[in-house]
């Protein structure tokens, strides 16, 4: 065997990021939508950009009978539609030679033995042992058996000087108990340092920019605390409903599990975290998990009633099209008690954030698609301008737009031109697309590259996931297991949510930011 991995001096200083290493990527659930729409196009885009390490092989593992060629044709068909960089037939022909299909049932141990032989043969053709990246993109009920079988055939172990890593897609459990179980199965198979729990929100350019905005600009961080900030709002609005059969999954999960437990709490932790001691994966994640741990627990039905609103939409109109109510949607139980909208008032009980409410809202069939974080600064003392008739009041608002139209804006007060002193808010706006003509890489591109480089900064750690579930579980239990189940509010599809959610903020003298 050839010697263990050494450093490659030609790589040094060539790109300013951790170096992704060549590996075999095995995707479980390879016939699914995620593989076709996101994962394979992401790897293709990386190849087009010259970022994919030489020698990366992709092995799709799934149950359906298929040849390599049929698998490749299916991938090509979708790549033509979705690839960010466009589809270049010459490059695809090169790329597809590294894509293979491996047919096996997830519970069939022989399938994994054959996979191990196949991976060994690929490594042998490259002159020795190789790295392996297992991507579990299957339905969640197969996570356990896949991990157990990988271990049974020894694929969780790497040869000397190589690595074996696993990426696990969401949902990472359905509550704390299942997440803990899954974590124990994962950690019985792979070490925590080799486990990458993906949350694609963290791969988004604007999510990564939160830390840069906070810690690389001296004007914001001194103000980033209870003394100057009045409230923080995080909104994730979807105008879509349950199209494309997604009602089947969604009606079991609901907005709280589907979005709040992972994406929104990740965004909240980036906004509220203390400066990390360094930019290492654990340096950043240590600070993020402290935020989740510091969330004031909503552990009684009364607290949940006071701080959480859940709702379903009724039939309405979006973009002038009539849309059904939640319970009339495809694959949704007509008597469903699953929330398609949730609004929360949260508190982070730390020195920095004491007394500052964090309002989160997420929902389907809202007027438009938008995810953003808004930081509402306290108003200045109005001793100077409050006597002026018609003077608009209000503090500064810093908005971080995550998607679409990624960017940052800052609302400031300004004097209106004229001979009298009149003030109005004006907006200073930065748009990624306008300022940087070159499109950002897709979140999955960045995250796949990071996993190949062994950089887990943008992946959730075990304790982060479990702490988030601990918080969410109290609410889920109150909704579904308590004797005093809070009511399910309603709102008309195409509106900005139920009145109860507006009331939640009104109690504090606040209101939702108009998007």
Partner 1 sequence: MTIPSDCSILGKEVPVSDIEIELKKLWEADDASTHASLMNFAVYSEDASALACNSSMVREITREHACRAILVGIDLDDPEVGMRSWITAHCNLANGKKAVCCEQIAFHLAGKVVGRYRNSIFAHLQSDLPLVFWWQGELTDRFDDRLYTLIARLIIDSAEWAEPRAQYRLLERALLQDGLVVQDLSWTRTYRVRLAIASLFDDHAGQAALPKIEKVNIVVHPDNLQSGLQLLAWMSTQCEWAFANDMLTSDRAPHSFSFQSKGGKFIEAQIVTDENSLAINEVTLSGDDFEAKVSLGENDNLIHLVFDIQGIHVEESTPAESIEPQDLVRDQLSRGGKNSLFKKVFPRYIELMDRS
Query: Would you please indicate which residues are annotated as catalytic (active-site) residues?
Result: 263
Among 80, 125, 184, 414, binds partner 1 (CB under 8 A): 125
184 in contact with partner 1 (CB under 8 A): no
Q: Does the N-terminal peptide bond of residue 224 adopt cis geometry, omega within 30 degrees of 0?
A: no
Q: In the bound complex, what is the minimum distance in angstroms from residue 7's beta carbon to partner 1?
A: 8
Cβ-based nearer residue to partner 1, 90 or 320: 90
Helix (H) / strand (E) element for 456: namely: none
408 in contact with partner 1 (CB under 8 A): no
283 in contact with partner 1 (CB under 8 A): no
Query: Whole-angstrom Cα distance, residue 385 to residue 452?
Result: 57
Query: Whole-angstrom Cα distance, residue 348 to residue 467?
Result: 13
Query: Whole-angstrom Cα distance, residue 135 to residue 444?
Result: 12
Query: Whole-angstrom Cα distance, residue 420 to residue 417?
Result: 8
Helix (H) / strand (E) element for 95: namely: helix 89-96
Longest Cα–Cα distance in the chain: 84
Strands 407-415 and 357-363 turn out to be unpaired
Q: In the bound complex, what is the minimum distance in angstroms from residue 125's beta carbon to partner 1?
A: 7
Phi/psi at 131 (5° precision): -85, 150
Among 54, 212, 244, 387, binds partner 1 (CB under 8 A): 54
Binding mask 144-183 for partner 1 (x = CB under 8 A): -----------------x----------------------
DSSP 17: S
Q: In the bound complex, what is the minimum distance in angstroms from residue 163's beta carbon to partner 1?
A: 13
216 in contact with partner 1 (CB under 8 A): no
76 in contact with partner 1 (CB under 8 A): no
Stretch that binds partner 1, among 75-83, 85-93, 110-118, 234-242 (CB under 8 A): 85-93
For residues 300-339, which are near partner 1 according to CB under 8 A? none
Q: In the bound complex, what is the minimum distance in angstroms from residue 304's beta carbon to partner 1?
A: 41
Among 18, 34, 37, 55, binds partner 1 (CB under 8 A): 55
Stretch that binds partner 1, among 143-151, 338-346, 429-437, 505-513 (CB under 8 A): 429-437
Phi/psi at 231 (5° precision): -160, 160
514 in contact with partner 1 (CB under 8 A): no
- Angle at which helices 109-125 and 143-152 cross, to 10°: 60
6 in contact with partner 1 (CB under 8 A): yes
Among 90, 121, 320, 387, binds partner 1 (CB under 8 A): 90
78 in contact with partner 1 (CB under 8 A): no
Cβ-based nearer residue to partner 1, 10 or 351: 10
Cβ-based nearer residue to partner 1, 294 or 440: 440
Q: Distance of CA 281 to CAs 20, 270, 286, 382, 441, Å?
A: 15, 13, 8, 44, 21
Give the count of beta carbons closer than 10 Å to the beta carbon of residue 34. Answer: 17
How many residues in the shown chain lie near partner 1 by CB under 8 A?
40
Stretch that binds partner 1, among 5-13, 228-236, 253-261, 332-340 (CB under 8 A): 5-13
Q: Distance of CA 223 to CAs 211, 214, 282, Å?
A: 15, 10, 26
The first and second tokens of residue 314, run together, are: 């009724």
Return the residue matching tokens 């729990």.
Answer: 197
22 in contact with partner 1 (CB under 8 A): yes
The first and second tokens of residue 384, run together, are: 């100077």
Q: How far is CA 72 from the centre of its chain?
A: 28
Return the residue matching tokens 């600064």.
Answer: 377
Cβ-based nearer residue to partner 1, 251 or 406: 406
11 in contact with partner 1 (CB under 8 A): yes
Cβ-based nearer residue to partner 1, 54 or 514: 54
Q: How far is CA 175 from the centre of its chain?
A: 18
Q: In the bound complex, what is the minimum distance in angstroms from residue 220's beta carbon to partner 1?
A: 17
Phi/psi at 6 (5° precision): -115, 180
3 state DSSP class of 236:
strand
Query: Whole-angstrom Cα distance, residue 128 to residue 500?
Result: 63
Among 47, 168, 308, 323, binds partner 1 (CB under 8 A): 47
Query: Can you give the length of the chain in residues?
Result: 515
Cβ-based nearer residue to partner 1, 161 or 367: 161
Give the count of beta carbons closer than 10 Å to the beta carbon of residue 49. Answer: 13
212 in contact with partner 1 (CB under 8 A): no
Among 126, 181, 369, 513, binds partner 1 (CB under 8 A): 126
Nearest to residue 5, comparing CAs of 132, 126, 129? Answer: 129
Among 334, 418, 437, 509, binds partner 1 (CB under 8 A): 437
Cβ-based nearer residue to partner 1, 41 or 395: 41
Query: Whole-angstrom Cα distance, residue 94 to residue 241?
Result: 39
8 in contact with partner 1 (CB under 8 A): yes
Cβ-based nearer residue to partner 1, 394 or 404: 404
Cβ-based nearer residue to partner 1, 118 or 293: 118
Among 30, 129, 164, 211, binds partner 1 (CB under 8 A): 129
Binding site for partner 1 (CB under 8 A): 2-6, 8-14, 16, 19, 21-22, 47-48, 50, 53-55, 88, 90-91, 94, 125-130, 161, 431, 433-438
């Amino acid at each position: 065997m050839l010697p263990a991995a050494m450093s490659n001096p030609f790589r040094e200083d060539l790109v300013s990021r951790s170096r992704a290493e060549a590996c075999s990527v095995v995707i479980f659930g390879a016939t699914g939508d995620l593989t076709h729409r996101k994962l394979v196009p992401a790897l293709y885009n990386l190849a087009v950009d010259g970022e994919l390490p030489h020698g990366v092989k992709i092995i799709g593992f799934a149950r359906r009978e298929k040849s390599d060629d049929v698998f490749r044709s299916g991938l090509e068909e979708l790549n033509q539609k979705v690839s960010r960089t466009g589809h270049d037939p010459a490059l695809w022909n090169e790329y597809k030679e590294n894509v293979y299909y491996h047919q096996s049932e997830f519970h069939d141990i022989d399938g994994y033995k054959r996979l191990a032989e196949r991976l060994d043969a690929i490594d042998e053709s490259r002159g020795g042992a190789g790295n392996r990246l297992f991507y579990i993109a299957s339905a969640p009920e197969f996570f356990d058996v896949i991990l157990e079988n990988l271990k049974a055939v020894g694929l969780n172990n790497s040869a000397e000087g190589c690595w074996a890593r696993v990426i696990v897609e969401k949902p990472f459990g359905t509550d704390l108990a299942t997440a803990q179980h899954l974590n124990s199965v994962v950690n019985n198979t792979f070490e925590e340092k080799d486990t990458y729990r993906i949350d694609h929100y963290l791969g988004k350019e604007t999510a990564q920019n939160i830390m840069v905005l906070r810690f690389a600009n001296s004007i914001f961080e001194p103000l980033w605390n209870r003394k100057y900030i009045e409230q923080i709002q995080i909104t994730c609005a979807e105008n879509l409903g349950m199209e494309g059969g997604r009602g089947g999954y969604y009606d079991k999960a609901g907005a709280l599990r589907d979005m709040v437990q992972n994406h929104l709490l990740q965004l909240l932790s980036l906004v509220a975290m203390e400066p990390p001691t360094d930019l290492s994966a654990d340096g950043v994640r240590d600070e993020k998990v402290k935020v989740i741990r510091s969330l004031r627990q909503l552990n009684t039905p009364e607290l949940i009633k006071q701080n959480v609103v859940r709702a379903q939409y009724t039939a309405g109109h979006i973009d002038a099209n009539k849309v059904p109510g939640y319970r009339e949607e495809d694959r949704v139980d007509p008597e469903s008690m699953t929330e398609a909208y949730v609004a929360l008032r949260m508190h982070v009980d730390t020195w920095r954030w004491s007394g500052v409410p964090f309002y989160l809202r997420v929902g389907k069939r809202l007027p438009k698609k938008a995810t953003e974080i808004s930081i509402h600064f306290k108003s200045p003392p109005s001793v100077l301008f409050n006597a002026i008739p018609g003077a608009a009041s209000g503090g500064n608002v810093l908005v971080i737009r995550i998607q679409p139209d990624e960017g940052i804006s800052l609302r400031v007060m300004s004097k209106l031109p004229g001979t009298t002193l009149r003030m109005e808010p004006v907006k200073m706006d930065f748009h990624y697309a306008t300022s940087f003509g070159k499109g950002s890489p897709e979140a999955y591109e960045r995250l796949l590259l990071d996993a190949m480089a062994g950089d887990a900064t943008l992946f959730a750690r075990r304790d982060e996931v479990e702490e988030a579930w601990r918080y969410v579980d109290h609410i889920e239990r109150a909704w579904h297991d308590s004797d005093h189940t809070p009511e399910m509010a309603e709102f008309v599809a195409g509106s900005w949510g139920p009145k109860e959610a507006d009331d939640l903020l009104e109690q504090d003298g606040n209101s939702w930011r108009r998007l």
